[in-house]
Structure 1
Amino acid sequence: MDSTSSTHARVRFRDTVPVRTVAVAAAAAAVAGLTVVAGTADADNAPTAVPRHALTGYWHNFDNGSVVQKLGEVSDAYDIIAVSFAESTATPGAIDFALDPAIGYASEQEFKDDIAAKQAEGVSVILSVGGANGTVAVNDAASAEAFAGSALALMDEFGFDGIDIDLEAGINATYLTQAMETIHATAGDDLVYTMAPQTLDMQSTSTEYFQLALNTRDFLTVVNMQYYNSGSMVGCDGQVYAAGSVDFLTALACIQLENGLAPSQVGIGVPASPGAAGSGYVEPAVVTAALDCLTRGTGCGQFVPDQTYPDLRGAMTWSVNWDAHSGNAWSSVVGPHVDALP
């Protein structure tokens, strides 16, 4: 991810899931050696199930010249909001999160209240780890333990529904798998767990990112690969496709769809506006055409998949702030289209 108003009203029907209790905090404390005070999270805000088709957007905890907005101001088109970003600490593998004063929150509690309000609307709010400048090394058993413990503690403290892995400086699939398995074992099946690898990271099942996805696919929510800041890539048919086209989106998604991930675990990640990324922006109509190609077999370009994937999860954008910068032009088109997928 780069570190650099209409709304779409919707009604969400979600399954009821167990409330995260103090037991999560206790487990997190035991793993990370932390002290967690009971009651810091709002027990009335249970994590919500992600809908069959979902729109994901990243929210900036910084001011980069797009739009500064509080969580409560994010378009209601989004089903998953990834708070960007958690930061590394002096302890290898451990992460922390602190609000940037530039966002304008009067207190941490106001931010937590915004998370709770979004959750009450059926939105999952998760904590993203990484970004273009984020370096969190999980490369041995101790750092895996520290990552899991600190992540669980932050989930409990703020009420986050889960974790997004957006590490762009390389990952170790073995130990990050260990960390995510610990998080899942404690948080349970209501954990919302997403990933945002770069295109190169998902070209082959031999890459560490793809291995992580396959290792954790029993509880992985969705992989929203970043189809931007990328050169041309090989699709699942062995042909090379240039970024910025329907074929680039569909032929690369096909690699994941045909190599072990369920359609519900695959999403298309694109910039919300030209200023959101160095390259790879496509008009919202290109995104909707790619979604139709993969789910319905219509709207395809040169590449036509051998089968359709009606359960495809949906789409992601970097970011809700860049979307707001362009008057929510991206989510107002792609959001309703994701809702209407078969």
Structure 2
Amino acid sequence: MCIKRVSSKFITLLVVLAMLISTFCFTFPVSAADRGEWAPYTTYAADDIATYNGNAYTCLQSHTSLPGWEPTNVPALWKAGGTAAVATPAFNPAPGTYNSTQTVAISCATTGATIRYTTDSSEPTASSTAYASPLTISATTSIKAKAFKSGMADSATASGTYTINTNVVATPTFSPAGGYYANTQSVTISCSTSGATIRYTTDNSTPTSASPVYSGAISVTKSTTIKAIAQKAGMTDSNVANESYTIGGSLQKRVLIGYWHTWGGDASGGVPFVKLRDVDPNWDVINIAFAEPVTPGSTTGQMKFAVTGLTSSYTINDFKADIKTLQSKGKKVVLSIGGYAGYFSLTTASAATTFANDIKGFINEYGFDGIDIDLEQTSVEFINGSDPDFKNPVSPKIVNMISGIRQICDSYGSNFILSWAPETFYLQLGYQYYGGLNSGCDRRAGVYIPMIYALRDKTTYVHAQLYNSIQVMGLDGKYYSMGNSEAVVAMCEMMLKGFHCGGNSNYFFPGLRADQIAIGVPSSQGSAGSGQISNAQLQQAFSTLNAAYPTLRGIMTWSINWDAFQNSNSFAKSNGAYLDSLQ
């Protein structure tokens, strides 16, 4: 027999491996236990139970596992069999102190396990009460729960105490309840806790001990959210109660809004001109597009308004008469300002006044019911990166535009309509990029935010243009392309819930009321470059939002003319009937 010489390096390597195995793989024993699912780099003691591929295995020798050492691969370390334990039950919400009755759910991660529980401090057994539905806890209660499953060891016992603070002031209640009301409402607030003081707010802020004291019925003359708390010495403050009241005045609860072109019928006008008297009766609000600057791109504030589709058989007097006829039928006719070609800026206070006076002249001459703001291009923009606080803007174009619009609104009564039609670039994009805060982005990103905030007391509704849009990030961090129900819901929820501007937690744009939101989409394939959505998907999105926000105002589209030309008015007929069904 020939014996080959073994090198000293190889012998050294064997010794090192032996030392590693003795120190790393076979560690000091720990107490045996059910270790759950097998995992590498885990220390197991003899008699531990681990689950692998749905089967239980018993550890034969203490060791720390490595990749590839699964129980099925290393019979020297594991044997099939053993009784794994059921997962320990979990409570939701977690045990703790609460100021009101709690509904407590008990769950178990082990599929098919039966949960049994006690509330008398005794240990749960297989004959204890079986958990079937969430428990209602109205007084301090200790719960113990255990899970059982045939072929597995019983779970560990979960226990927790729910302390219900009974020394808490009752939550205030409102009468009448929130909702849509055509006229002014007298709202009373009450609290069942004798001697409690009620404090309230109407600016969407949370009431505190410094808020006004409720002393009698509140007259709600415009759409308002009232929030209230009740306080009493020696007791915990009540929960905050809130109700939203939509005061419609002469505007109905749900509205279908369409833009009507003042032009059309020639080579440059695209779709044919439609006489105002011939618009489909399903339209509730007709936005007349557009009032424009005398000179595009000007800063003087001088404005013009003209209907260029007129003929000898349809004169300006016919147009004015049609406005009155539509209004007699309950329709609203609103003057839209701007548009893509009608861009202008107000850089001085005097320009803002000139703008306001010119627009008021058109309103008075034609009898419009309000104004719609559709500013595009460079009409408004930030001093890039140097105007971070939307509550206190300093950019001249923004400050003066706010002033001009407020001068107009202040000249008319509470039924005067102020609507906004920002592209997503000018509103929702402000969540990720805000031109006044983020110096590296476009100066117009989010530029409608300070205007809407400053004029939210005058704002009837906002119908952002969910078309001709880039992908926009929603509150969930996902990017949305327009033209589907998910995108519609995500973009509207940004306006309803509010968001931080430019990702900065110091600047939170608060959400609008649901009655201040309408969904804006194209009416036909030819009316916009993107964002088209079927009536069915649009109505699905509205229903989803309306379930959570039941006073959602309505639907807007560009445009009435395109719908008549390309759809035979099917957008108006389908969505008008849908909104009517929700009244």
Q: TM-score range by the shorter chain?
A: 0.7 to 0.9
Deviates more, 1:268-277 or 1:100-109: 100-109
Q: Give the residue type in structure 2 aligned to 1:89.
A: V
2:448 to 209, 218, 221: 209
Instruction: Look up the match of 2:263.
Output: 62
Q: Secondary structure at the match of 2:326?
A: helix
Deviation at 1:189, TM superposition (A): 1.2
| Contact kept? 1:61, 1:99, Cα under 8 Å | yes
| Contact kept? 1:70, 1:103, Cα under 8 Å | no
Aligned 1:96-245 pairs, distance under 5 A: 96-102=304-310, 106-170=314-378, 171=380, 172-203=397-428, 204=430, 206=434, 207-245=446-484
Q: Give the residue type in structure 1 aligned to 2:374.
A: D
Aligned 1:226-265 pairs, distance under 5 A: 226-259=465-498, 260-265=511-516
Go from structure 1 to structure 2 and tell me whether the alpha carbon gap of 1:284 and 1:104 turns closer, same or farther (over 3 Å shift): farther
Instruction: Look up the match of 1:22.
Output: none
Deviation at 1:283, TM superposition (A): 0.9
Residues in 1 aligned to 2:365 and 2:574: alpha-carbon distance in whole angstroms = 35
Deviation at 1:101, TM superposition (A): 4.0
Residues in 2 aligned to 1:239 and 1:56: alpha-carbon distance in whole angstroms = 29
Residues in 2 aligned to 1:169 and 1:142: alpha-carbon distance in whole angstroms = 22
Go from structure 1 to structure 2 and tell me whether the alpha carbon gap of 1:103 and 1:318 turns closer, same or farther (over 3 Å shift): farther
Q: Secondary structure at the match of 1:214?
A: helix
Residues in 2 aligned to 1:105 and 1:158: alpha-carbon distance in whole angstroms = 19
Go from structure 1 to structure 2 and tell me whether the alpha carbon gap of 1:245 and 1:113 turns closer, same or farther (over 3 Å shift): same
Instruction: Look up the match of 2:533.
Output: 282
Instruction: Using the aligned pairs only, state the percent identity.
Output: 35
Instruction: Look up the match of 1:333.
Output: 574
Deviation at 1:114, TM superposition (A): 0.4
Residues in 1 aligned to 2:346 and 2:577: alpha-carbon distance in whole angstroms = 38
Residues in 2 aligned to 1:163 and 1:103: alpha-carbon distance in whole angstroms = 26
Go from structure 1 to structure 2 and tell me whether the alpha carbon gap of 1:138 and 1:50 turns closer, same or farther (over 3 Å shift): farther
Deviation at 1:238, TM superposition (A): 1.8
Residues in 1 aligned to 2:474 and 2:313: alpha-carbon distance in whole angstroms = 44
Residues in 1 aligned to 2:317 and 2:375: alpha-carbon distance in whole angstroms = 28
Deviation at 1:14, TM superposition (A): 6.5
Unaligned 5+ runs, structure 1:
1-12, 17-47, 297-307
Deviation at 1:217, TM superposition (A): 0.9
| Contact kept? 2:275, 2:314, Cα under 8 Å | no
Residues in 2 aligned to 1:339 and 1:136: alpha-carbon distance in whole angstroms = 38
| Contact kept? 1:67, 1:324, Cα under 8 Å | no
Q: Give the residue type in structure 2 aligned to 1:54.
A: V
Write the deviation string for residues 285-306 of structure 1: whole angstroms up to 9, x where unpaired. 111011001001xxxxxxxxxx
Deviation at 1:144, TM superposition (A): 1.1
Go from structure 1 to structure 2 and tell me whether the alpha carbon gap of 1:247 and 1:186 turns closer, same or farther (over 3 Å shift): same
Residues in 2 aligned to 1:104 and 1:318: alpha-carbon distance in whole angstroms = 27
2:248 maps to 1:53: no
| Contact kept? 2:259, 2:560, Cα under 8 Å | yes
Choose between structure 1 and 2: higher strand proportion. 2
Instruction: Look up the match of 1:320.
Output: 560
Deviation at 1:213, TM superposition (A): 1.0
Q: Secondary structure at the match of 2:570?
A: coil
Go from structure 1 to structure 2 and tell me whether the alpha carbon gap of 1:105 and 1:169 turns closer, same or farther (over 3 Å shift): farther
Write the deviation string for residues 146-196 of structure 1: whole angstroms up to 9, x where unpaired. 111111110001111111111111323322211121111111212111111
Deviates more, 1:250-259 or 1:203-212: 203-212
| Contact kept? 1:162, 1:192, Cα under 8 Å | yes
Residues in 1 aligned to 2:252 and 2:327: alpha-carbon distance in whole angstroms = 13
How does the TM-score come out when normalised to structure 2? 0.48
RMSD: 2.1
Residues in 2 aligned to 1:56 and 1:247: alpha-carbon distance in whole angstroms = 22
2:291 to 86, 93, 118: 86
Instruction: Look up the match of 1:270.
Output: 521
Residues in 1 aligned to 2:564 and 2:274: alpha-carbon distance in whole angstroms = 9
| Contact kept? 1:94, 1:136, Cα under 8 Å | no
| Contact kept? 1:72, 1:114, Cα under 8 Å | yes
Unaligned 5+ runs, structure 2:
1-180, 185-248, 381-396, 435-445, 499-510
Residues in 1 aligned to 2:575 and 2:279: alpha-carbon distance in whole angstroms = 15
Q: Give the residue type in structure 1 aligned to 2:352.
A: A
How does the TM-score come out when normalised to structure 1? 0.80
Instruction: Look up the match of 2:118.
Output: none
| Contact kept? 1:270, 1:318, Cα under 8 Å | yes
Choose between structure 1 and 2: higher helix proportion. 1
Go from structure 1 to structure 2 and tell me whether the alpha carbon gap of 1:92 and 1:50 turns closer, same or farther (over 3 Å shift): same
Instruction: Look up the match of 1:309.
Output: 549
Instruction: Look up the match of 2:280.
Output: 75
Write the deviation string for residues 80-123 of structure 1: whole angstroms up to 9, x where unpaired. 10101112125712222112145665422111100000100111
Higher RCO (CA 8 Å, separation ≥ 6 residues): 1
Deviation at 1:74, TM superposition (A): 0.6
Q: Secondary structure at the match of 1:330?
A: helix
Deviation at 1:49, TM superposition (A): 2.2
Deviation at 1:340, TM superposition (A): 2.6
Residues in 2 aligned to 1:105 and 1:213: alpha-carbon distance in whole angstroms = 41
| Contact kept? 1:250, 1:290, Cα under 8 Å | yes
Residues in 1 aligned to 2:473 and 2:276: alpha-carbon distance in whole angstroms = 37
Go from structure 1 to structure 2 and tell me whether the alpha carbon gap of 1:77 and 1:14 turns closer, same or farther (over 3 Å shift): farther
Q: Over alpha carbons, which structure has the higher Rg?
A: 2
Deviation at 1:67, TM superposition (A): 3.0
